[in-house]
Every structure is written in structure tokens, then in C-alpha cells.
Amino acid sequence: MATTAAIPKYNLNDDQEKKLILREYRALLRGLKPKLKPGDKELLRHAFEMAADAHKTMRRKSGEPYILHPLAVARICVEEIGLGVRSTICALLHDTVEDTDITLEDIEREFGGEIARIVDGLTKISTVIDVNASQQAENFKKILLTLTDDPRVILIKLSDRLHNMRTLDSMKREKQLKIASETVYVYAPLAHRMGLYNIKTEMEDLAMKYLEPEAYREIARKLAETKRERSRYINEFIKPIKEKLDHTSFPFEIYGRPKSIHSIWNKMKKKAVAFEEVYDLFAIRVLLDVPQELEKEACWKVYSFITDEYTPAPERLRDWLSAPKSNGYEALHTTVMGPQGKWVEVQIRTKRMNEIAEKGLAAHWKYKEGATDESRFDKWFQQIREVLNDKDNDSIDFLQDFKTTFLAEEIYVYTPKGDVKMLPVNSTALDFAFAIHSMVGAQCIGAKVNHKLVPISHKLRSGDQVEIITSAKQKPNDGWLDIVVTAKAKSKIKDALKEEKRKVADEGKYTLQRKLEQSGAAFNQHNVDVLTVFYKLPSPLDLYYQISIKAIDLKELKEFQILGDKLEPPKPVKPVEHKVEVQTVKPSKDTELIIFGESSDKIVYTLANCCKPIPGDDVFGFVTTGKGLTIHRTNCPNATKLLSNYGHRIVKTKWAKNKEISFLTGLKIVGLDDVGVIHKITNLISGEMKININAMTIEAKEGLFHGNVKVYVHDKEELEELVDYLKKLPGIETVDRYDAEA
């Protein structure tokens, strides 16, 4: 792990800094020692000196000399991913072209074309391609284009991102939110897809530390408190298995490891349970040291030892020995009922499999045998290439499709002839049809899955055998976009719909021309644009289409003025909108927007409907087109998408105390259905705490009640106090906040 994050202060003198930099450089060389060939040391020294000289006047936000960052990134590449000398040179130089006077030509002259190409892939785009699209999405698209030529680009990029996350403390709050959101939205799933589980886990945990600080600290504290008790339990669980393994001939290791904070938090949210109720806080791992030809046999043997001792849950068996994941991951996972009635996950893998699990793609190539074996990675890259070559792809759509298609877990589905197709999880029969050929997809009317007739929307499962049924009369429609998940299918359906729309729109174009000429205005680009804006449509094609399908009848045309042959739109009547007013200090470069401040300036803002923030919540402002400023909670379901795609529209925001205004929020209450329970709840809320109730519904069934209460509170503190009091009432099981609709 890079040591730079741990250095507390940077008031070192020049000599101390030089010693520190040299120490990091020597540590990097030590990590590379087994891979060094004659001449490599000189090349590395040259790259290091070139980078150190180029960055010599630069410092990071923490105050440290900038060169420590490329050195730390290079060490992650070597020590945590297992990359070699050429990747290390690229990591040392990865920021030089963007931030210093060094050019790509200089790098090519000194180190050759291969290294220059990788550095180019790592260089961020400095000009925004399209003002509405996110620079990050464009940036990412460019990285992926290079990735398909040379996957080392993405591995170095992930190392760069990991080091930035490890040193995020010195950044401003809004920058922390943006970088953490991007990380959890794109980079952590990408690390997972590359088989880098340790890096993926650390990225998710670090992102959570900034996006959900309270939940992060709470789980970390509880993990620390229960550590001794967990260790005792792990030893009790392992003891009988270890005794059996001691009688086998192969060397082994067996140990327990805690689950990540992020995965525990996900379990708590998904299953709506408290920390104490999450059963798999840790996993037991068995590592075997056996020759490759004996691996399967040995893993299944260990599985039989474990299931002899403890009862397995058959539906929780995961056999990635017979069909490894497309990122190369191989292992056998099972969940068994351990002592004291607790479920325990056990992972069985060999030393070779473990190296692939920890170092992903890099280790995968090290073990790749024979040039004929087209790896699953190669197939994956080929699929990405196809989508990247589609020039019409909007960047943010692309980023969303990339996540659902290429970063999801995958399933393996068979054609009638037994050929295997790899698809993302949740793929439908229609996705499979497009995976075979775009023509087969466009004419798909149904499918037979395992010889049974199913609709095109049928979700496929791993191992299904699928036969597609087509008809020449079939053509894609809008509803198909909700059925498919793969980027290829979405892109082909959009193309077909555009073509269809064009044909229908021609009729509307002719109608518009006739109406304009009858009213005395010309059919020209200016007038078409004026009408497109007036009807709030994205393009003239949409205008013609809406006219053609009679969704727009153009009767508003008589309200337009005609000057010469040009249309002038009618003046809009301003709608009366109920908006909350904010007072704020005048925003200078570093001030944050204060909601309910004391100054005389007023800024109009609205509270986001998707997460219903209340004072005290951790929030950020988002500048929306046409709506002004919207306030979202940092843990809003849409926050990661907004922060990672539109970082430039984020405004730093915080609450000021104001007890005059109340906010609507909701609580879900679950408990034992007992006489007088409703009276107790209402008495506490309105009687004791003097909080207004907006609405309340209670449903009782089979001894349990589920209540929804909408209340007006002044801020988060008041809400938390109410939740605490409600939880103390006898018979109340859980109290959770939800975002109430007014």
C-alpha cells in the first residue's frame, strides 16, 4: 500500500522531502525486482527523473510534493495488481502530458510508441466535448477506446483512482462527493469486472466513508466492538474442519475474514435489518496449494469435509470451478449452518485461483495457456468495441448502458446447437436475439427456452438453452427499450425506431408546411426551430412526428405573430409556482450556499422530490436546466448519478437554523399488534412531542402491524429524537424514515 496517505504533515524541509521521495522510489524498485531484465533499471530511473523534474514545482492539496502521487500509483500497479516494468513507466508518467510541458511526442521519443499510446489513454480530455454531456462520461469513453487496445490503461487508471480515494481527506467537501460518487458509480464496478476484488472493496468502503459518513462510522465501530466475539466463533467453526484437513496430503490455509463495511451496509438496506441481524459479517476461506490438474478434485473434497460437518443451504452453492466468471474468477462458495444457529459463507479456492481473485486481469494473463484459448476477457473487449464504434451514442446513455451491460455479473446461455453466449444478468430472450444478430433481434416474436414457449420479455438464467422465433412482419417498437438490458440491443432498437420515426415524420413535415403557408409564414428552418422550442420538443424530427400522429394539432399557430414571413411566439403567461425562498450570502468563489441564511439576498430553490431533504440532512445543490437550484440528500438514490455525471453543476450547500418552517417526512413503523398501540404512537407524536401529523395509515395482519405516519418536523435532530422515542415504546420493532409525498 502506498505510504503517502499516512504522512501527516508537509512542513518538511527539502532534504527530508528528497529522502522521502527516494524511499518511495526504492520501495517501488524492490517490488519490481523479480521482473527486472537488463536495461529496465535505467529506463525506470529515466522515467522517474523525467516525472520528478516535470512535477518539481507542483504540490498536491495535502501539501505533499506531487511526484509522490505517480510513485504511489506505480506501487499500487506493482504490489496490488502485479503489473510489470512498462506499466510502471506509464504510471510514473501518467499525469505529465496533461499537467506539465512534456508532450506525447517527448514520451514516444524517449520510451517508444507502446508507452506513448498508454499514456495518451490515461491523459484526461481537457476540453468538454458537449456542454450538456458530462466531461467525465466522455473521458471514460476515451479510456475505454484505449482499453480495448491495451487493458493496462484501465488497470493504471484504477490504481490512480484508488490512490486519489486514499488521499481524499485533503479535498473540499463537494470535490469529495463528486469523486466518491464517480468511484462507486463506475470505477468500483469496473475493478470488480477486472477481477480486482480487493481494490473494488476498498474503493466502495472509501466512497461510503464520504457519501454516508454516519453509517460508515457506526458499522466500523460495531465491527471493532464485536471483533473478539467473532474471532472466538471463527475458531470454533474452523476447528473440526482443520482436523480433517490435517489428515490430507495437500498444504492448506484456513481463516476467517470480515466482510467489507459497504457490503454489510448493502445487506442492512436490502433486507431492512439492523447490524446485529446481518448473519454473514465474515466469510471463512480455505486456500489449497495443489497442482493445477488436481484443483477441482481437491476443492470438492474440501467441500465434502465441510458439508459432512455442517448442513449446507443447497440454493447458496456457487460453482465457479466448472464455469469461471468472465473476469477469470474461480472458486467454490457454499453457505452452511454453523454453531449457535448462524449461517456462515465458506469460500474454497487454490493459491492460483486466489492470485487471479486478488490481481484479476494481470494474473489471468500470467496463467493463460496456449494462444488458441480466446479468453472471456477477449470476448468482453470485442463486445465493448462494437458499442464504442456506434457514433450516435450519447455519452451519459453510454455510461448507463456500459454499467448495465459490461459491469454486471454475467450468465451463460446456449444456442440450440450448444454454442455459449455470455450475457449480463437480467438479460431477456430479446437481448439474446440481438446477441445472435441484429436482424434476428429486429424480427423476434418469441422464443423457446428449454423447449418451452416464452415471450420476448422472458428473463434468462444461466444454463438456459434458447431458440429464437422470428417473423418477417415483426418490427421493433418503443416498449422494447424497457425489455432489453444490453447496450447492443438498445442501440439497434433505437436505430430502427429512428428510421421508423423518420418515415412517419415525413407526413407531419408536409402537414406543417401546408399550415405555415396557409397562415402566411414561410416553411423555413427559423420557423421550424421556433415551433420546436414552443412545443418543448428535442428536435424538428420529434415535431414532425408529433404532428403526424396527431399529438399536436397546431391550433396554437393563430396565437403567433407573423413579422414578414417569420413566426414570433406568443408571450408566455407566468405560472404561479409555490417555491421556498432562500436567503444566502453572496456566493464568492469559496462560499457555500446557506439555505435559510440571515443575509438579504434571495435565491429560489426547490427540494428534490426523489429524496425529500430536511434541515440537518447532508445535502448538495444541483443546478438543473430550467428549474434553477434543486437540493438533494447526499444519499439520495439519484445522487451518485448526478455527482458523477454532472460534477460541474454541483453547488456546496448547508443548512442554517430556522425553526419557523416545517418539512414533511415519513416514518414506517412495524411492531406487534397490541391493544392501544395506535393511541400510544399518536399520543407520543402529537401529545408529548407536539409534532403535527399530516397522515397516518395502519394495517394489522396476523399479529403484526405496519404503520405509515407522515409528520411535519423542523430538522433532522427533531426527527431523530422522535425515532428514538418511538423505538422505546413497548412492542415497536423497527422505525425507518421514508420520503413522504405531500
What CATH number did the domain enclosing 681 receive? Answer: 3.30.70.260
Average pLDDT over residues 19-29: 90
329 pLDDT exceeds 60? yes
- For residue 73, what pLDDT band results from cuts at 50, 70 and 90? very high
How much is the pLDDT for 204?
93
Using pLDDT thresholds of 50, 70 and 90, give the confidence band for residue 75. very high
Using pLDDT thresholds of 50, 70 and 90, give the confidence band for residue 347.
very high
Question: Does the pLDDT at position 591 exceed 70?
Answer: no
User: How far, in Å, are 214, 218, 435, 645, 669 from residue 727 at the CA level?
Assistant: 19, 18, 52, 39, 9
Q: What is the pLDDT of residue 89?
A: 92
589 pLDDT more than 70: no
Burial of 207 from C-beta contacts in 10 A (0-12 / 13-18 / 19+): buried
Q: Is 355 a residue whose pLDDT tops 80?
A: yes
Alpha helices in 535-625 (DSSP H): 540-548
By mean pLDDT, which of 169-183, 520-534, 598-612 is the weakest? 598-612
Among the residue ranges 483-497, 529-543, 578-592, the one predicted with the least confidence is 578-592
* Confidence at residue 427, expressed as pLDDT on a 0 to 100 scale: 92
Last residue of some domain: 541, 568, 595? 568
Q: Is the pLDDT of residue 85 over 60?
A: yes
Q: Is the pLDDT of residue 9 over 90?
A: no
The confidence score (pLDDT) of residue 254 equals 92
Strand 650-655 and strand 704-713: the pairing is unpaired
Residues 706 and 644 in one domain: no
Single out the catalytic residue among 17, 40, 99, 565. Answer: 99
Q: Which of 358-362, 393-397, 546-550 has the highest mean pLDDT?
A: 546-550
From the CB of residue 477, how many other CB atoms can be counted at a distance below 10 Å? Answer: 11
Poorest-pLDDT segment among 199-203, 605-609, 727-731: 605-609
Q: Tell me the backbone φ, ψ of residue 59, rounded to 5 degrees.
A: -130, 155
* Integer angstrom CA distances of residue 217 from 85, 654, 719: 39, 21, 20
- Angstrom distance (rounded) from CA 12 to CA 26: 20
Highest mean pLDDT among 261-275, 348-362, 429-443, 696-710: 429-443
Task: Read off the pLDDT band of 8 (50, 70, 90).
Answer: very low
pLDDT in tens, 106-162: 898 998 888 888 888 777 533 323 333 445 555 566 555 555 556 778 888 889 999
- Residue 460 falls within a domain, yes or no? no
Helices assigned H by DSSP within 479-524: 480-483, 487-519
99 catalytic? Reply is yes
- Most confidently predicted of 285-294, 364-373, 384-393, 615-624: 285-294
CA distances from 591 to 47, 377, 580, 649, 651 (A): 41, 47, 21, 15, 10
The question of whether 699 is a catalytic residue gets the answer no
Could you tell me which residues come within 8 angstroms of residue 139 by beta carbon, excluding any fewer than 6 positions away? 124, 125
Regarding whether 71 and 18 lie in a shared domain, the answer is yes
724: in domain = yes
* pLDDT of amino acid 186: 77
> What is the spatial order of strands in the sheet that 601-607 belongs to?
580-584, 601-607, 628-633, 619-624, 650-655, 593-595
Collect all residues with Cβ–Cβ distance below 8 Å to 530 and sequence separation of at least 6: 566, 567, 568, 569
Judge if 642 and 722 occupy the same domain. no
Q: What is the CA radius of gyration of the chain?
A: 30
What band does 358 get if pLDDT is binned at 50, 70 and 90?
confident
The pLDDT score that the predictor gives to residue 332 is 93
Pair 100, 194 in one domain: yes
Based on the domain organization, do 120 and 254 belong to the same domain? no
Last residue of a domain, one of 351, 367, 383: 367
Q: What is the mean pLDDT of residues 191-195?
A: 78
Is 178 in the same domain as 29? Answer: yes
Stretch 237-241: mean pLDDT = 92
Q: For residue 307, give the nearest of 340, 277, 279, 348 by alpha carbon.
A: 348
C-alpha of 729 from chain center: 39
**Does the pLDDT value for residue 378 go beyond 50?**
yes
Strands 311-312 and 619-624, sheet pairing: unpaired
> CA dihedral defined by 715, 716, 718, 720, rounded to 10 degrees?
170
| 3-state helix/strand/coil string of 20-32 | HHHHHHHHHHHHH
Angstrom distance (rounded) from CA 348 to CA 312: 14
Whether 432 is covered by a domain: the verdict is no
What burial class does residue 80 get, using C-beta atoms within 10 Å of its C-beta: 0-12 exposed, 13-18 middle, 19+ buried? Answer: buried
437 lies in a domain?
no
**Same domain? 524 vs 586:** no
Residue 121 and residue 251 in one domain: no
CA–CA distances in Å: residue 210 to residues 166, 170, 268, 340: 11, 12, 18, 36
Least confident of 226-240, 496-510, 602-616: 602-616
Q: Report the length, in residues, of the chain.
A: 742
Residue 489, domain member (yes or no)? no
Q: Considering the domain boundaries, does residue 455 fall inside one?
A: no
In a domain, 504, yes or no: yes
259 DSSP 8-state letter: P
Same-domain pairing of 98 and 50: yes
pLDDT tens sequence across 264-294: 888 888 777 778 777 677 889 999 999 988 9
Average per-residue pLDDT for the chain: 79
Q: Are 136 and 647 spatial neighbours (Cβ–Cβ below 8 Å)? A: yes
Pick from 317, 337, 367: which residue ends a domain? Answer: 367
Residues spanned by the domain of 711: 663-738
* Count of domains observed in the chain: 5
Domain identity same for 301 and 184? no
Same domain, 226 and 336: yes
In degrees, to the nearest 5, what angle opens at C-alpha 209 toward C-alphas 208 and 212?
A: 60
310 — pLDDT class (breaks 50, 70, 90): very high
Residue 322's pLDDT band, with cuts at 50, 70 and 90, is: confident
Cell numbers for 19: 529522502
Catalytic residue among 17, 79, 80, 98: 98
Q: What is the pTM of this model?
A: 0.64
First to last CA, the chain: 50
When mean pLDDT is compared across 150-164, 195-209, 381-395, 408-422, the lowest value belongs to: 381-395
| Cα dihedral sign, 186-189-193-195 | positive
pLDDT tens figures, 651-687: 777 777 666 677 888 899 988 887 778 888 888 888 8
CATH of the domain at 19: 1.10.3210.10
Q: Is the domain of 15 the same as that of 91?
A: yes
Percent of the chain with pLDDT over 70: 81
Dmax of the chain from CA atoms?
98
Low-confidence winner among 289-293, 469-473, 540-544, 574-578 (lowest mean pLDDT): 574-578
Compute the average pLDDT of residues 316-324.
85
Q: What is the pLDDT of residue 434?
A: 92
Write out pLDDT tens, residues 626-647. Answer: 667 888 888 888 887 787 777 7
Residue 561 is assigned to a structural domain of this protein: yes
